[in-house]
Amino acid sequence: MHPNPIDKTPSFSNLSLAEQLLSAVKKMGFEQPTPVQLQAIPLALEYKDLLVSAETGSGKTAAFLLPTLHHLLTLPSKKSGTRALVLTPTRELAQQIFKHCQQLTEFTELKTGLITGGDDFRLQQNMLRRNTEIVIATPGRVLELMEQEIPNFSNLEMLILDEADRMLDMGFSEDVLTIANSCNKQRQTLLFSATLTHFGVIKMADKLLADHDVVALNTLHDGHRNIEQQIVLADDNDHKLKLLTWLLQNETYDKALVFTNSRIQADALRGPLRGQKLRVGVLHGEMDQKDRNRMMDLFREGEVKIMLATDLAARGLDIKGINLVINFDVPRNGINYIHRIGRTGRVDELGLTIALVKHTEWNLMSGIERFLKQKFKQRSIKELAGKYKGPKKLKASGKAMGGKKKVETKKAVAEKVKVRHRDKKNIGKRRVPTSKPDIIETS
Ligand code: AMP
Closest Cα to residue 54, out of 323, 373, 372, 338? 338
Q: pLDDT tens digits for 246-285? A: 999 999 999 999 999 999 999 999 999 999 999 999 998 8
Residue 1 has a pLDDT of: 42
Which residues fall within 8 angstroms of residue 8, CB to CB, at 6 or more apart?
14
Tell me what the mean pLDDT of segment 121-147 comes to: 92
Q: pLDDT tens digits for 315-349? A: 657 688 889 999 999 998 876 787 788 777 665 67
The answer to whether 327 and 259 have CB atoms below 8 angstroms apart is: yes
Tell me what the mean pLDDT of segment 88-112 comes to: 96
Half-sphere exposure of 426 (CA within 13 A, CB side): 10
Which residues fall within 8 angstroms of residue 214, CB to CB, at 6 or more apart?
50, 51, 52, 196
Q: State the average pLDDT for the chain.
A: 83
Residues with CB under 6 A from ligand 1: 30, 33-34, 37, 56-62, 318, 346-347
| Smallest CA separation from ligand 1 atom 20, residue | 30
DSSP class of 443: -
Whether the full predicted model's pTM is greater than 0.85, yes or no, is no
For residue 240, name the pLDDT band (cuts at 50, 70, 90): very high
Domains of the chain: 12-216 (3.40.50.300), 227-384 (3.40.50.300)
CA of 157 to the centre of ligand 1 (A): 25
Best residue among 22, 30, 38, 95 to mutate for probing ligand 1, ranked by most atoms within 8 Å of CB:
30
CA of 58 to the centre of ligand 1 (A): 6
**Long-range Cβ pairs for the range 118-126 (8 Å, 24+):** 118/91, 118/288, 118/289, 118/290, 119/289, 121/145, 125/150
Q: CA 311, CA 20: separation in Å to the nearest integer?
A: 37
Residue 265 has a pLDDT of: 96
Q: CA 397, CA 98: separation in Å to the nearest integer?
A: 53
Q: CA 197, CA 335: separation in Å to the nearest integer?
A: 10
Phi and psi, residue 161, nearest 5° = -105, 110
The answer to whether 140 and 115 have CB atoms below 8 angstroms apart is: no
Tell me what the mean pLDDT of segment 133-158 comes to: 94
Best residue among 318, 319, 344, 348 to mutate for probing ligand 1, ranked by most atoms within 8 Å of CB:
318
Q: Which atom of ligand 1 is nearest to the CA of 316?
A: 4
For residue 373, name the pLDDT band (cuts at 50, 70, 90): low
Give me the residues paired with residue 229 across strands. Answer: 353
| Smallest CA separation from ligand 1 atom 22, residue | 30
The answer to whether 69 and 44 have CB atoms below 8 angstroms apart is: no
Of 80 and 195, more confident: 80
Q: CA 122, CA 141: separation in Å to the nearest integer?
A: 12
Best residue among 17, 21, 61, 322 to mutate for probing ligand 1, ranked by most atoms within 8 Å of CB:
61
CA of 270 to the centre of ligand 1 (A): 31
Spell out the alpha helix ranges (H) of 199-288.
199-208, 237-250, 263-275
Which residues fall within 8 angstroms of residue 268, CB to CB, at 6 or more apart?
none
Least confident window among 78-92, 170-184, 338-352, 420-434: 420-434
CA of 59 to the centre of ligand 1 (A): 4
pLDDT of residue 42 exceeding 50, the answer is yes
| Smallest CA separation from ligand 1 atom 6, residue | 57
